Amino acid sequence: MLTDATLKALKPKEKVYKVAERDGMYVRVMPSGAISFRLDYRLNGRRETVYLGRYGRDGISLARAREKCIDARRAVAEGRSPAIEKQRDKRRLKEAKSFGEFGEKWLTAAPMADSTRAMRRSIFERELLPVWRNRLLTEITPDDLRAYCGGIVERGAPATAIHVRDILKQIYGFAILHGEKVANPADEVGPASIATFVPKDRSLSPSEIRVMLKQLEHVATLPTIRLGMRPRFPLRVPFPCCLRLAQPC
């Protein structure tokens, strides 16, 4: 069984050579002196090799290599190819698009009114791009979103903070719809946790209604309304301004 002392004592040769470890793992020593951990295994009648990592200060330790070996052997036991999964992960990382790229695709392709698109683009470019333009989708967490929206609220723009949360949620939803395997950070950050708004509506007082009716006498109106203003024909119309929200006429 290999030890750190054994690995450090390995010397390069003219040709590549291997030194066996336990559980099918071995190290491969290159003529350059580079040492890497690998695992050979058989799956579905074929022989495969998975690269576990390079040994050394800029690589992984012997203990970590053994952990990765155990994980790979578990995958083989479950009928999965660790070598193919590693290739997929590398390809996914290479093809990964940033938050900024997905945001631009969403703004271009998602169905929305032109005025809505313009408003969202303005907020996206002003508030989101400067912070998360080059972040991968997997790198933005609920805590990141919560903290950032909190900062926007502190500067006195709670409505903008809510818009930021909603836009980010829709960008992630767009990415997930198109095959990205990623959690949506906004799912764990509800609008109420960012800001709440107190309604400012109220009903008019009797004196305010009298003023309004007086003013109607001096503006151009339909004959039926002028008729209703006369004492013999009292005006009987429901005023929405006198009703609270959700209160029927």
Nearest to 147 by CA among 135, 123, 164, 170: 164
pLDDT by residue (tens digit) across 40-54? Answer: 999 888 999 999 999
Domains of the chain with CATH codes = 4-95 (3.30.160.390), 99-193 (1.10.150.130), 206-242 (no CATH)
Residue 175, beta-bridge partner list: none
HSE toward the beta carbon, residue 165, CA cutoff 13 A: 28
d(CA 142, CA 190): 10
Res 249: pLDDT: 45
Residue pair 55/28 in contact (Cβ under 8 Å)? The answer is no
Residue pair 30/18 in contact (Cβ under 8 Å)? The answer is no
Tokens 């109220």 belong to residue: 202
Res 97: pLDDT: 78
Higher pLDDT, residue 235 or 131: 131
Could you tell me the maximum CA-CA distance found in the chain, to the nearest angstrom?
115
CB atoms within 10 A of CB 148: 21
pLDDT by residue (tens digit) across 191-230? Answer: 888 887 666 666 777 777 777 777 666 665 666 665 665 5
